Every structure is written in C-alpha cells, then in structure tokens.
A = this chain, B = another copy of it.
Amino acid sequence: MVTKEKRADAQRNIAAIVDAAIDCLSRDPNASTSEIAKAAGVGRVTLYGHFPSRADLLDAVFLHAIEGGEAALGQVDLTGDPREALTRLIESSWHLVDRFRSLLVAAQDALPPGRIRELHADPMVRVERLIERGRAEGVFRTDLPTSWLVGAMHSVMHGAADEINANRLTPDKAATYITATVLAAFTPPGKPVPAS
C-alpha cells in the first residue's frame, strides 16, 4: 500500500459524505457542497479535506453508485430463454436507473466527457452479451446494431422515470410497461411480438 491508512474517524466521515451526497444529489443534481456536508453531519472544510474539488467528489460518488449497482446486477440469472433473462435484467436495472437518474445529471456537467461512459463500461457489456446471445438464438432482431438496442433500452427506462416524475405513471407498473415495450422493440421483423 503506497497510500497510508486513513484514520478510522476519517474513513467514517468519507463514507458519510458519499452517502449524503448520493442522497442530496438524487433530490437535486445541483446540490451544493454546503448542503452535502451538512447532510453528512460534517463541516464543509472536512469535505474539502477529503475531496479536493466538487468534481472529485462527484467522481467518487458516481463510482460508488456504479459499484453498488454492479453488485446487484451481478446476481441476476442471465441463463435460459433470452427474453425471460432480459425481463429479469430489466426488473433489476430499472430500480437503479430510477434511483440514480438525477445523480447522472449531476455527473454529466461536472465530469470530463467520456468519463461517464467509461464508468458504465462494465454494466454495458452485461447487457450486450445477453443481446448478442438472443440474436444468435434468433429471438432478437439483427437488422439494427447491438449498441442501438442497448441505447433504446436505456432510453425507455429513462423515459419511464420521467413519466413517473410527471405523475403520469405509477412506479409499480413501470417494470411491466418497460419490458413489454423493449421485448417488442427487440423482436425480429416478420416474427410475432411475444404476449406478456
């Protein structure tokens, strides 16, 4: 270990700051460092002691969120019928998208361009693999690029979050609607859309 071990209370505070930041930024992507520090029960100076700048903080927070999401998504069973596997994956992904949507906005204009996609790389390949397998088995369409299909799935989930935010959709129905829409969108031309 090149970096010296931080003292116990310092580690505790860092964790508290990151947690508070996720909480605050989820409510308001423009939350100030003052708000976050206060929410963490910590002085603003302490925050800057651990994170040199707001951008550094956001990077750490985003990384933490991604790692948490990865852990959840890693437990999803992706074997068997690709359509059923995708349904399970959407069910899990959806909650993450819904929770961290606002945080993504905060990251978008604070982190250097490309950094977000870089951190999203691992979750991405999981979806890509599943889609590739579905295409090989003939249940997903091959007339559109895989990257487009991944993007479309993301778009629909983000759209659902917006609809909820506007009170035009209740959270309990979201997952059902999303899977119905995505499964249809992924169906190869000429083949029938699977019944829910």
Interface positions of A (Cβ within 8 A of B): 30, 109, 117, 141, 143-144, 147-148, 151-152, 154-156, 158-160, 162-163, 166, 168-169, 177, 180-182, 184-196
Contacts and interface: CB of A to CB of B under 8 A. Distances in A.
B189 A177 contact: no
B147 A181 contact: no
B180 A143 contact: yes
The 3 closest A-B pairs by CB, nearest first: A155-B159, A189-B195, A185-B185
A169 B190 contact: no
A144 B194 CA distance: 14
B193 A187 contact: yes
Contacts of A186: 184
Nearest to A153: B159
A1 to B, nearest CB: 36
A185 B196 CA distance: 13
Contact of A188 (B148, B191, B193): B193
B159 A154 contact: yes
